[in-house]
Amino acid sequence: MRDIIIIGSGPAGFTAAIYAARAELKPLLIASSVEIGGELMNTTEVENFPGFPEGIMGPDLMGKMQAQAERFGTEVVYDDVVELDVDGPVKRVKLGNGGEHEAKAIIFATGSAYRKLGLPEEERLSGHGLSWCATCDGFFFREKTIAVVGGGDSAMEEATFLTRFADKVYVIHRRDSLKASKIMQQRAFDNPKIEFVWNAAVDAIHGDTAVTGVTLRDTVSGEVSALDLDGLFVAIGNDPRTHLVHGKLDLTPEGTIAVDGRSSRTSVPGVFAAGDVIDPIYRQAVTAAGSGTVAALDAEHYLAALEDTSGDPSAASAEAAEVDELVAVDLADAAR
Ligand SMILES: Cc1cc2nc3c(=O)[nH]c(=O)nc-3n(C[C@H](O)[C@H](O)[C@H](O)COP(=O)(O)OP(=O)(O)OC[C@H]3O[C@@H](n4cnc5c(N)ncnc54)[C@H](O)[C@@H]3O)c2cc1C
């Protein structure tokens, strides 16, 4: 039996693996069969990950994280977890190829998926003018004309933020009124750079190597028109990848996995969660990496406590939390 199995190969999973491997816990990381490396594999230049002043391509960054995790002894398996048994002291993970693994602790780092428009051009143009993250990519659209698709709070937030860079931001929404809260709507309505395109659905995205525009369909009249653009941001929702743990771990009202305070402890002792799957707000590579660190340290403390408590997961979880608190108080006292 392993000490730790990590599920997910994004920044959270690989960072957890780096810490767990350096703590001699010989982690097994299940990377997925197709989407190895997580969301950053879908982008081009990453300019906001510390340590890379010139920027780095998303896949290169993930390759480096994996190499760093493997350098310290992480074993990576290219398969999907299809079933998870988290009850009791032995956690069991079943893979798509039928294989099974057991561990004393699990770190769940499966990320979240931005909802897509469902158009064939989306994959090809992702990172080439098509984005799901204004914080990540807004900087690339200085003095450009762009559009945001969506009518909720996140679309209003993205559109308002993007006016810092772009000359013009269209908001394309399929209805004639917004779902967003009054305050976010008003902020967008008051912004002179934002123009709303009501009752409009994106039927196609134009561009061979980069986004050049979209085909819009009027959702009331059916009329079709073209809109020239330098960039398109899709803000129609985000789904944490939690289907494996429904009914097994507590979730938050936002649909992310619930964790105890600033820790990564889930509702089940010995199961820890990290990255975008627990984060409804920040969802950045560096926050996911930081969260992976927290999970590895929590798991490490839990495993140490498991030895003291004759393998009782609940007692070990309580002891690990108590020890963390005692250490924090001790450090604070020492600093006084
Ligand atoms: C197009 C795009 C561009 C972005 N650009 C930036 C940027 O420039 N800067 C920035 O900081 N952030 C950026 N982000 C956000 C950033 O990518 C995420 O915040 C970050 O990747 C989250 O890391 P994570 O490890 O939590 O999850 P993810 O990166 O989503 O990784 C989760 C991994 O778990 C795997 N997985 C899921 N289910 C299973 C399973 N059952 N079995 C095995 N594996 C499984 C997935 O396949 C995936 O590999 C961008 C996001 C997108 C979509």
Of the chain, the percentage scoring pLDDT greater than 90 comes to 90
Residue 128 banded pLDDT, cuts 50, 70, 90:
very high
pLDDT at 331: 82
Task: Determine contact, residues 118/198, Cβ cutoff 8 Å.
Answer: no
Task: Determine contact, residues 25/105, Cβ cutoff 8 Å.
Answer: no
Report how far Cα 13 is from the mean position of its chain's Cα atoms: 11
Per-residue pLDDT reduced to its tens digit, 258-283: 999 999 999 999 999 999 999 999 99
Mean pLDDT of the chain: 95
For residue 277, give the 3-state DSSP assignment. helix
CA 270, CA 314: separation in Å to the nearest integer? 8
- Right CATH for 2-114+238-310 from 3.40.50.620, 3.40.190.170, 3.50.50.60, 1.10.10.10: 3.50.50.60
Task: Determine contact, residues 137/160, Cβ cutoff 8 Å.
Answer: no
3-state SS record for 74-141: CEEECCCEEEEECCCCCEEEEECCCCEEEEEEEEECCCEEECCCCCCCHHHHECCCEECCHHHHHHHH
Does the pLDDT of residue 336 top 80, yes or no? no
- Choice from 40, 49, 93 to test ligand 1 binding pocket (greatest atom count within 8 A of CB): 40
Task: Determine contact, residues 123/114, Cβ cutoff 8 Å.
Answer: no
pLDDT at 328: 84
Q: Does the beta carbon of 111 lie inside 6 Å of ligand 1?
A: yes
| HSE value, Cβ hemisphere, 13 Å, CA-based, for 252 | 16
Does the pLDDT of residue 244 top 90, yes or no? yes
The radius of gyration of the chain from alpha carbons, rounded to an integer in Å, stands at 22
Mean pLDDT, to the nearest integer, of 300-326?
Answer: 91
Q: Pick 334 or 326 by higher pLDDT.
A: 326
Distance (angstroms) between ligand 1 centre and the Cα of 38 equals 4
Q: Does the beta carbon of 12 lie inside 6 Å of ligand 1?
A: yes
| HSE value, Cβ hemisphere, 13 Å, CA-based, for 238 | 22
| Residue 87 structure tokens | 């009850």
Q: Does the beta carbon of 113 lie inside 6 Å of ligand 1?
A: no
Q: Is 78 left (phi over 0), alpha (psi -120 to 50) or beta?
A: beta
**Which residue in 300, 292, 302, 279 sits closest to 8, CA to CA?**
292
Distance (angstroms) between ligand 1 centre and the Cα of 43 equals 10
Residues annotated catalytic, as ranges: 133, 136-137
Q: Does the beta carbon of 230 lie inside 6 Å of ligand 1?
A: no
User: Domain locations in the chain?
Assistant: 2-114+238-310, 120-234
**Which residue in 272, 293, 243 sits closest to 112, CA to CA?**
243
Nearest residue CA, atom 9 of ligand 1?
A: 136
Q: Does the beta carbon of 319 lie inside 6 Å of ligand 1?
A: no
- Choice from 30, 122, 136 to test ligand 1 binding pocket (greatest atom count within 8 A of CB): 136
Of the chain, the percentage scoring pLDDT greater than 70 comes to 100
CA 116, CA 310: separation in Å to the nearest integer? 48
Distance (angstroms) between ligand 1 centre and the Cα of 62 equals 10
pLDDT at 335: 72
Nearest residue CA, atom 21 of ligand 1?
A: 39
Per CATH, 2-114+238-310 and 120-234 having the same topology is answered yes
Return phi, psi of residue 294, to 5°.
-55, -45
Mean pLDDT, to the nearest integer, of 8-30?
Answer: 98
pLDDT at 34: 86
Mean pLDDT, to the nearest integer, of 241-268?
Answer: 97
Task: Determine contact, residues 300/323, Cβ cutoff 8 Å.
Answer: no
Distance (angstroms) between ligand 1 centre and the Cα of 288 equals 8
Residue position matching structure tokens 């309580």: 318
Give the chain's end-to-end CA distance (angstroms, integer): 44
pLDDT at 15: 98
Distance (angstroms) between ligand 1 centre and the Cα of 283 equals 9
Per-residue pLDDT reduced to its tens digit, 148-165: 999 999 999 999 999 999
Q: Is 310 left (phi over 0), alpha (psi -120 to 50) or beta?
A: left
| CATH code assigned to 120-234 | 3.50.50.60
Q: Does the beta carbon of 256 lie inside 6 Å of ligand 1?
A: no
